[in-house]
Amino acid sequence: MIPQTLEQLEQVRKECRTMVRKRAAASAGSTLVPLPGTDVLADVGMLMQLLPAINDKFGLSQKQLDGMDPETKSMIYGFVMSIGSKVIGRMVTKELVVQVLKRVGVRVATKSVAKFVPFAGQGLAAALSFTAMRYVGNKHIDDCFEVVKRMIEQREGLPGEPVPVSLEEGSRQNSEDEEKLDTNANVKP
């Protein structure tokens, strides 16, 4: 379900960042396996689970969007397109994850080569793996956050729906309305 308030949205972002940190640490650990390519395969597998989990937390998975009314779905896809995300609201496939990893391609390639340098190379590979996984995950979180934030802001600004105002603003508005009524009542036709 899509968060309804900015507070709920912020809580979802915190939960997702925790998930990303855990997966990034697991990704760094996968570089310790000395077989070529295992770390990249592990990253692809982790991202194929992580990205849909983030979508789901924000209420933006393909299944969740399919269950929405056409107007809301259209609004969300408009926000997604303006942000340029290729992952929000879509089925996350291996090909899609590889496209996402190409954004951080230099880090992934360097990590694969660096792990074969004795001692320091494995540390560098682990650091690069952690950083790359964290970057991809946090970028996706930021994209999802922005889409839902825009949706909340759009919903609050729709005509016919009350827009929250502070007590001070509401009090000032009531005073202005009363003055207008008094002025109109004193006017003789």
Using the 8-state DSSP alphabet, how is residue 164 labeled? P
Dist. CA 17–CA 5, nearest whole Å? 19
Q: Where are any strands of DSSP class E within the chain?
A: none
Task: Report pLDDT digits (tens) over 74-96.
Answer: 888 899 988 888 888 888 878 88
Task: Report pLDDT digits (tens) over 33-88.
Answer: 666 666 677 888 888 899 999 999 999 998 998 888 899 888 888 999 888 888 88
Residue written as tokens 């496209």? 99
> DSSP of 114-172, one letter per residue?
HTTSTTHHHHHHHHHHHHHHHHHHHHHHHHHHHHHHHHHHHHHTSTTSPPP--HHHHHH
Q: What is the dihedral of CA 9, 12, 18, 23, to 10 degrees?
A: -110
pTM of the prediction? Answer: 0.70
The answer to whether 27 and 133 are in contact (CB under 8 A) is: yes
Dist. CA 147–CA 119, nearest whole Å? 43
The answer to whether 129 and 27 are in contact (CB under 8 A) is: yes
